[in-house]
Every structure is written in structure tokens, then in C-alpha cells.
Chains A and B, each alone.
Chain A
Amino acid sequence: MVKYVLKRAGMSIVTIFLLITVVFFLVRLMPGDPFNNGKMTPEIQANMEAYYGFDKPLPVQYVKYLGNILQGDLGYSMKYTNRTVIDTIKGSFPYSFDLGIRALVFAISFGLVLGTLAALNRGKKLDFVCIMIAIIGTSVPDFIMGSVLQYFFGIKWGLLPVAQYLGFQYTILPSIAVGFYTLASISRLMRAGMLEVVQQDYIKTAKAKGLSKWRITWKHQIRNAIMPVVTMLGPVVAAVLTGTFVIEALFAIPGMGKYYVESVQMQDYTMVLGMTIFYGSFLIIANLLVDIAYGLIDPRIRLAGK
């Protein structure tokens, strides 16, 4: 097990390093330049480039940047000139994280329940309702869901706040908007998993043994059916925690998403790299954790992976 974890951790570090390198050079290839604001003169531009060290050859800049990263220095943003990339992340990520966690709690809890209920009531009305919810969740994009929720619950009926992130009631609509797609996926996977598992031999054995329905459902069915859900959870968690940009913009939540998108448009190199490193590491670590969790839950994986 330890060997397994170490091997995966080592590969993760290599992946992150590759990511940084590729993005560093890729971002410079973008046409246009970071300083031109339509009112730049050639002299001022030359001065800015010297100030940021962009007049040195690219490999030299790369080495310097790597050196800085290893000391924990991600540099200052080129657009938010007085703020470091790390401070920006520290100030905004908690909001994205908070929103993402709430969305996940919503998606996982309701998704599992919905999927289980649907499977247990297969063919009946409850199943149909659950399937409909899943279809809506999968096909409606998050910003439409968000806008619709904001319009009806916020503006028209005035039941919940329209924007900002100042307390529990403010988090309800954004969390639902962010989590709905995941809820739909989880409920469908859970339903399919439960239905498949119920046909397995060991369920028949358990029934023959005289175990109560409750015990069968919980101890055997759910635990096995949940495997596909756990598999997707790693990337899903990372995606939800980092993919809140549109909803943040819609509900005026001061999260991190906008820096990610905006830094590319504005060619704020330090911010682009900082965001890439952060998100990339996050995803890679999330996947690593899922692999480890997988190994723990399912002994078959652990043994096979050796």
C-alpha cells in the first residue's frame, strides 16, 4: 500500500512540474501583449518590459520563475499591481471553496438519496420523478439554472437574497446552481449501480440467509453501488471546487474563478501561472486522494495494483 501511494505521489509531482513548464511558455505565445492598453507609447512599453524582466531571454526568465516558486514566491499580479498572487488566492479561494463544499454536500446527500429511492421504487412514480430531476440537472447549464433560481426565488418571490455571500441564506441558491449537475450524475449512477447490484448472486445469498431488507440494502447494495460514485468523486470534487466562476459572477460572490478567466484575457502572466499551479495541484491531489480511497474501499484494487 505504501509503495502504491509513494508511486502515485511521485507521478503527481512530475505532472505538476510539467504543467508549470508548458503553461509558462504557452502563455507567452498568446498574440497581443500584457501592457498594451491602447494608450501605450513604445517608450513606456519598453520601460514596463524592463521592469518585469521580460527583455531577458525566455529560458532565463523561466529559471528565475522556478527558483521563486520553490521559495514559495508566486510573484505580484501584473494587473492588480500591489497584490501578490498568493494573497489573491488566500483572499478569494475560501469563498469558492465554501461554495463548492456546500454544493457538494447538497449534491452528494440529495443525489445518493434520490438515486437510492429511485432504484428501490423502480417503475413507480417516485422513480419517474427522480429521473426527471436527473435529466433536468444534466441538461440545464449551471448559469441558466442559476439565473432561473435567482429570478424566481430572489427577484420575483423575494424569498432568498439576489446576490452577495453574507450568511447561510445567501448560500442556498448558488449552492443549488453549482451542485445540481453533480446531483443529477450521482443520482443516476447510484440508481444504475443499485439496480445492477440487486441482481448479483451475493444479494440472493443474503436474502436466502434471511437478512432484513434494510441490512441488505445498506450493508451490501449501497456499499457496492457506491463504487462508481466514489470513482467520479475525485475529479468532481476538484471540478466543483474550482468551477464556480459563472455562478460567482452571477451572484456577486468574491471567489477565485474570475481571476482564472480574467488573467488569461488580460495576459497577466504571473496570475495565469499562479492560478494554473493552484488549480492543477488541486486536481492532481484530488485524484491522488481518490486513488488512495479506492485502494482502501476495494481490496481488489489494492491487490491488483501491486
Chain B
Amino acid sequence: MKRKLMAILMSLTFIVGMAAGCSTPDTKVEDANQSNESEGSSDNTLRYSLESEPPTLDPQLANSIPSATVLYHMFDGLLRNEEGEVKPAAAESYEVSEDGMTYTFQLRETYWSDGEKVKAEDFVYGIQRLLDPAAASDYSFIGLIIKNASQVNTGELPVEELGISAPDESTVVIELENPADYFPSMLSNSSFMPCRKDYVEKYGKDFAADPENNVYNGPFTVTKWAHGDRITLEKNDQYWDADNVKIDKVEVLTVADANTAVAMFDKGELDFADVPTPLSANYQGQTISYYDGANDYLKLNQAEGPFTSKNLRLAVNYAVNRSEYVKLAHDDIYEANTRFVLPQVNGVEGEYGDEYPYEAFPAEGDADKAKEYLAGALKDLGVSKPEDITVELLTADSEKNRKEAEVLQAQIQEALGIVVEIKQVPYKQRLQMENEKDFQMVFTGWVPDYPDPISYLELWTTDSPYNHAGYSSEVYDGYIETANTTTDSKERMDALFNAEKTFCEDAVVVPLQLRQKEMLVNDKLKGLETYFVGINYDYLHAYFVD
């Protein structure tokens, strides 16, 4: 018996020893990099994580905020939008023509990480590539503001006809389809970064697949990309403003589970981490809150179905108690939206919300008004009792979506007495059903690409490809038209505000929430900024203190 036990124990020890001896894949690589403790202040390395790896680091193909955030730190566009303040970047100055349609940029002398000078042609090539049908970028829509962009994108016109040119090595000229005050801020987006033609031609489809398949002109360069695991950035000494970059190295890890990321933050392995809603109670008072720009609402189909009745649309808008909804569905982390446009976008001088305050619907709803409109709706739809009206609430299939839908269903049913049915489908299917107008009331949202009200409002003109609600208003179209043709900033913003008011008065959607996130930040890390458009974090000027 004893011998047997001994034999078993010995074999087990042998096995465990073998297992311990065998190294995990990639362990031998740079143990200095992958130390357990972040100790950011001692090795001057910033570490953070993303829930999913950036699918690509190709500026013109990037289509997600995680990609865009990393790219913002790797490349330098003509201008840089630092949390609302548009500053010169690769271009040290620019001029706008009288009619607001032509922008001329003067480049400063800067270099790529391989020593080559950054030329105007690099910007022309990059932006042409964005619209070039041969590059098949699913983010090309962001360039449609440029003259001839949509014809170039469909192949009607050759790429050379795009409204961008380089009269000389350090001048870039861009022509627009219509005046756009917000255009300078867009140039900070990864889609408009310069691109080296020789690298694209050399690597073809593998361009930017790995760090050595591209060159960089931004504050950091990519030195290593362990796919699925982490991206390593190192300070670029060639960057024209390198003196103001205080961090030496950045590691962007992929950590799919939000709870794990928080645990890693607690152990000092990450310098900042988003806190998922269920855990937020544990970290009360320790987090900072920021908007991520997303604006969610119930889109109402007014082309067919019960919501052709404006009265019903208004009834639902007054029936929903937005304050209670964000508390029940999101633990108050999100903010109730009582208008349509995100108030933090740019106004004429300051924030749009400050310059044009507006409450379309009371945050707590208004049960009496709701019933008034309901009476009108009953007449419109030719029924006698509220129970005769059934509406379908379409949403995606996550747990969060389910909770949101149930809260809304309860509120609407209780306030109005109509029947609300919830239908959950996979996200992609929901998108398709929206496209095909196969919905009555769908929970959807919009993430802006630039910090201007029109990013939200241009979706609803009669001929907008994104107008899946069947909304058509001459008055609304008129305001948008004015905003797109006038060169006076104040007149433009007034028109946009009028459009927003018309939109809310017509109850095209039921505005619900402005998404916010809670974030834990290492006490020793200063200068980290968050933003709600294009990128989530800006660590350009971040630094560690002791």
C-alpha cells in the first residue's frame, strides 16, 4: 500500500514538474516588458486594456473606437482635436476661403519614423485611399463631405478627381461639397491620416498587418503587436512635439472580461480601467465619469404601422419616465436625454448645450399629457380602447438590452394602457431590420464621428440613407439645407437648433439616454483625458508622478 502511494506521488510530482518546466508560448520574449507590476511611475510605461483587440491599425480601414484611439497616438493628421480644441498638428496653419468650401494647409517640416519627410502627397494619397473603391473601406462615408467623394467612391470618377490636391510638397488643398464649420475637427480622425504609398504598394493586403509593415509620424510608434494579447507603443523621438510627450512606452492589452480588467487594475497591472455597471457600487467616489458620445433612442417607424400617428409618438414620449428608466436599467450611470443632440458637442464658441439649452420632454415624463395624446392616437388609429393598440419593441439580444426593454415596456404599458411586445434578435439582424424598415419601435442609437450637432441631425433629412424611420419634413430639410449652405457660424447653429426643435416636436424618436462610463485611474497618472468623439482616451500629454 505504502509503495503504491509512493509511486503515485512520485509520478504526480514528475508530471507537475514537467508541466512547470514547459514554458507557455512566447514566455521567452522580453520579460522586462511583461512584468507583473505596472509600476508605471518607475518604468514610465502606461498600461491599459481594451475589451477587444483593434481589428486593424490601417488608418483608412479602421472602423472602431479602440482602433481609432490607438491610431490617434501613432499618427499625426493635419490638425489634432484635443478634447474639443482643434490644434495645428502636421499642418502648422491653415486658411479657409470666403465661401467656406476650400481649405489650404501649410505643413510644418516633419518626418516619418523611417526618416523620410512627411510630404503633402502623403495626405493626398491617404485621403484618396479612404474613398477609393479598390481599398474597400467601410468607413469611407466619413469622407463624403469632400468634393466629388461620393462619385469617386462609386467608381463614377477616378480617384484623382477627389477634391484634394498638393500644389507643392508642403501645401495641401481640400475642397468640400458644402461649407462645414466642423471640418477641421474631423481631420483628427484616423481616416484622414497620411499614408505612405510605397508601403501600401509593397505590402498590398498585408499593409499595416504588423508593425514593420508601415511607418508612423505620430507621438508613438508601434514596436510590437502580439495579436490577441497586446500592442506595444514606444515614444517617437522624430515627432515634432516629442518634448511634450512624457510617457516612454504604452502597452494596450486585450482583456475581454471587464471584471478581470478591474481586478488587474486593483493589482497595479493596469493604469486605468472602465468599471462595469454591476461593480460600480464598490468603487463609489473613486471613479471619474465620462461620456462616450453614444446617444440611444427608440426609433419610431412613421412610414407604416401605429406610429404613423403623431399623437401616439408624442404619447409614448410623455409616457416614458427617463429618470426612472436610467436608474432601473443602468443604475444611474447613464444620463437621461431629454432632447436629441448630445449637449457636449461644439456650439458656436463653447458647448452646444450651454448656448442652446432645451428640454423637449420632461425628465420624469408627464402622465397627463401622455393620456391627452393617447386620446388623439385612438382617434387616428380608429380604435376605442388603448388595449387595442399593440406595438412591437425591437432590440438586440444582450442581457442589457433585455433589461432596458422591460423597463420601457412596463412604463409605457402602465402609463398608456397599450400593449408592448418585446422582440430580441442578434445585433446584425436588428441592423438589417432597421434598413428594411421592418420594425415599429426599435432601440437603437448613434455614435457621432465629429463634435457637431449635424452629426446627429443629418441622419433625418428626407434623402438621407440613414433615415430608416420614414421621416420626411420640408421644414426640417429646409433648416438642414440652411445649415449646409450658410457661411455664418451663428446662423448655421441657429438653423441646427431649429432643426432639433422641429425634430423633437414631431416626436420622430423617443430620446432615452446619453451613455457614460465610469473609469478608475491610477493616482500616480496625471494628464489622461477622455473624449466622446472618435477616441475614448487621450494620453498624449499624460505623465506619472511619484
Contact = CB atoms under 8 A, between A and B. Distances in A.
A36 B435 contact: yes
A61 interface: no
Contacts of A150: 260, 263
A185 B264 CA distance: 33
Interface stretch (A27-35, A187-195, A226-234, A289-297): A27-35
B422 interface: no
A159 to B, nearest CB: 12
A200 interface: no
Nearest to A80: B55
Contact of A166 (B24, B134, B207, B259): B24
Interface stretch (B110-118, B423-431, B491-499, B506-514): B423-431
A8 interface: no
Contacts of A83: 209, 227
B475 interface: no
Given A36-B432, A98-B24, A163-B263, A249 B15 contact: no
A42 interface: yes
A171 interface: yes
Task: Give the interface residue-count category, chain A.
Answer: 35 or more
A97 to B, nearest CB: 8
Contacts of A80: 55-56
A163 B289 CA distance: 26
B269 interface: yes
Contacts of B93: none
Contacts of B12: 109-110, 113
Interface string B406-426: 000000000000000000011
B400 interface: no
Given A252-B253, A254-B229, A95 B36 contact: no
A132 interface: no
A44 B19 contact: no
Contact of A98 (B25, B267, B428): B25
B138 A35 contact: yes
Interface stretch (A12-20, A62-70, A86-94): A86-94
A153 B446 CA distance: 41
Interface string A100-122: 00100110011001001000000
Interface string B351-387: 0000000000000000000000000000000000000
Interface in A42-83: 42-44, 46-48, 50-52, 76, 79-83
B116 to A, nearest CB: 22
Contacts of B269: 162-164
A242 interface: no
Q: Which range holds the interface residue count of chain B? A: 35 or more
B533 to A, nearest CB: 14
Contacts of A109: 11-12, 15
Nearest to B63: A37
Given A32-B429, A94-B25, A166-B34, A105 B15 contact: yes
A154 B36 CA distance: 13
B477 to A, nearest CB: 18
A36 B428 contact: yes
A267 interface: yes
A277 interface: no
A145 B444 CA distance: 35
Contact of A43 (B15, B20, B150): B150
A245 B56 CA distance: 22
Interface in B178-227: 205-209, 213, 226-227
A44 B141 contact: yes
A269 interface: no
Contact of B256 (A76, A213, A258): A258
Contacts of B55: 79-81
Contact of B260 (A166, A168, A250): A250
B63, B207, B267, B428: residue with the most chain A Cβ atoms closer than 10 Å? B428
Contacts of A102: 19
A31 B205 contact: no
Interface string B249-292: 00001111101100110110100000000000000000000000
A231 B404 CA distance: 47
B256 A252 contact: yes
B36 A161 contact: yes
B136 A51 contact: yes
Contacts of B1: 213
Interface in A145-171: 147, 150, 154-155, 158, 161-168, 170-171
B263 A154 contact: yes
A31 B428 contact: yes
B229 A171 contact: no
Contact of A171 (B24, B430, B433): B24
A37 B227 contact: no
B133 A47 contact: yes
Contacts of B466: 39, 41
B25 A95 contact: yes
Given A79-B55, A214-B3, A47 B154 contact: yes
Given A37-B63, A155-B263, A258-B228, A32 B431 contact: yes
Interface string B13-46: 0010011100111010001001010000000000
Nearest to B58: A82
Contacts of A40: 138, 141
A167 B264 contact: no
Nearest to B150: A43
27 contacts: A30-B429, A31-B425, A32-B428, A33-B428, A36-B428, A36-B432, A36-B435, A38-B431, A41-B466, A79-B55, A82-B207, A82-B213, A92-B228, A147-B259, A161-B36, A163-B264, A165-B24, A165-B229, A166-B36, A167-B24, A170-B24, A249-B257, A252-B255, A252-B256, A265-B426, A265-B427, A265-B428
Nearest 7 A/B pairs, CB to CB = A32-B428, A254-B228, A82-B209, A254-B229, A51-B136, A249-B256, A31-B429
Given A30-B429, A92-B227, A254-B226, 5 more contacts: A42-B465, A102-B19, A168-B19, A250-B257, A258-B228
Interface of A: 30-44, 46-48, 50-52, 76, 79-83, 87-88, 91-92, 94-95, 98, 102, 105-106, 109-110, 113, 116, 147, 150, 154-155, 158, 161-168, 170-171, 213-214, 217, 248-252, 254-255, 258, 262, 265-267
Interface of B: 1, 3-4, 8, 11-12, 15, 18-20, 23-25, 27, 31, 34, 36, 49, 52, 55-56, 58, 61, 63, 133-134, 136, 138-141, 150, 153-155, 205-209, 213, 226-229, 253-257, 259-260, 263-264, 266-267, 269, 425-433, 435, 444, 446, 449, 465-466
